[in-house]
Amino acid sequence: MSFLTEFPAMGRRDLSEFKQGIDEGFRTFSRAYGEDLEAFFNPLLKFLIWFEKLLLGTPWPIVILVVALLTWFGARSWKITAGSILSFLAIGFFGMWEDTMATLAIISVCTFLCIAIGIPIGIFMARFNRAQSIITPILDVMQTIPSFVYLIPVVMLLGIGKVPGLIAVCIYALPPIVRLTNLGIRLVDRDVLEAAEAFGASNREKLFGVQIPLALPNIFAGVNQTIMMALSMVVVASMIGVKGLGVPVLRAISNQYLALGLMNGLAIVVLAIIFDRVSQTYGKRLQAYRETGHG
């Protein structure tokens, strides 16, 4: 006997009506405001398309040179820089360049969005305990709810395409940067803050001159985790029309193409390793700089 049969018919009918009410209410909302939401996200779509075309239209030697320079700036390691160059050369050699550039575009835009939204929310949580108590459960839900569940309302509102995929990736990847920004600011030594107050620093000066600089290693750890979680959503996002390395993986699953799936999966892993090593090394360098007082 199922659990539901224990309830009287009236209770089951009320539950069914409640579910139908939610569905009907959301459909009404999507019909009324769907076009407005699409117009609101249109600038983001245009920017994403422009950035993807820029990466695809740029000659591959220039792209690899820029990647090498950014890697060197972040990691200051010849090994990591050489590994990045060789990895991108291998990606091009095996015919995955266009998909990799598309993935790089959406992950970059997603990371910038998460940083722009997440750091202010993390600062707000650190400033107000009540805000932390309200926002923390929301972050818990965002991290634990299956991604396919929140794909449903996003697709219903915005349809299939790049923007719904970007929003879905951001929902999944946002919590780490928020949590670690909040944690980093809260871990700043009270004695340091009292010393800043003794010198007459305002709340704004304490935030931007003391708390955020000292919290940077934690913030960069959050950026690192955000990038990793965004990359883990590449295949899921491909299901709703996002171009990139996830599309061949999805095709490989559907048609049992083992080689295709492995190659594109390894390309995602390569991107993850490069981002991980660079952001981790940069965070450690920042921490060392703060601890020793010199670079």
Per-residue pLDDT tens digits for 230-251 = 888 887 888 877 888 888 888 8
Question: What sign results for the dihedral spanned by CA atoms 270, 272, 275, 277?
Answer: negative
In the chain, domain spans: 44-55+94-292
Please tell me the predicted confidence (pLDDT) of residue 294. 44
Please tell me the predicted confidence (pLDDT) of residue 159: 76
In the CATH hierarchy, which fold is given to the domain comprising 44-55+94-292? MetI-like fold (1.10.3720)
Query: Which tokens hold the place of 215?
Result: 């919290």
Biggest CA–CA distance in the chain, Å, is: 73
**Above pLDDT 70, what percent of the chain?**
92
Rounded mean pLDDT, 55-79: 89
Distances (CA, A) of 156 to 143, 149, 173: 21, 12, 21
Residues 6+ apart with CB under 8 A from 154: 164, 167, 168, 240
Does 110 score more than 70 pLDDT? yes
CA distance 117 to 115: 6
Q: What is the pTM of this model?
A: 0.83
CA distance 286 to 295: 8
* pLDDT above 70 (res 12): no
pLDDT-derived band at 54, boundaries 50, 70, 90:
very high
**pLDDT averaged over the chain?**
84
pLDDT of 27 above 70: yes
Instruction: Output the pLDDT for position 113.
Output: 93
Position 8 scores a pLDDT of 61
The answer to whether 278 and 80 have CB atoms below 8 angstroms apart is yes
Q: Is the pLDDT of residue 293 over 60?
A: no
Q: How far apart are CA 256 and CA 285, in angstroms?
A: 44
